[in-house]
Structure 1
Amino acid sequence: MPARQPISTAPKDGSRITVFWTDSDGVANESIARWDKEDGAWWTYTDSNTQKKIEPTAWRPSSADED
């Protein structure tokens, strides 16, 4: 598994990557996310129907089994 990297170094080309972020309850999360260049934000699915704008602190490339 690749090491975590600062979010500032994450690709912003629309590819899916694994990000690490903390929600409003202070719970640490790891999820697949994409950068949306139109609104300049990171988005992830919280369930199969709901997307959420997040502010990740770190990232790592997604492995093949996560795609």
Structure 2
Amino acid sequence: MSAATLHTCPTASPRAAARDGQAALPRLWLRRIRARRALAALHSEQIREAGLDAIAVRAESLKPFWRA
């Protein structure tokens, strides 16, 4: 059996797994950036309707992307 048949799935190879692991953190950061920008764009009425605290929303939207 050749090595090519052992790794039929592109993510099954160790190289692909390492590549996915390296990309996971930037993807997480990008999700945080987008979510925090969306929070910052909310109007006070939208925040109230969602049942959120305006101060907590502002604090979350001002966090840097690397902070959870």
Same fold (TM over 0.5): no
TM-score scaled by structure 2? Answer: 0.18
TM-score scaled by structure 1? Answer: 0.18
**Looking at CA atoms only, which structure, 1 or 2, has the larger radius of gyration?**
2
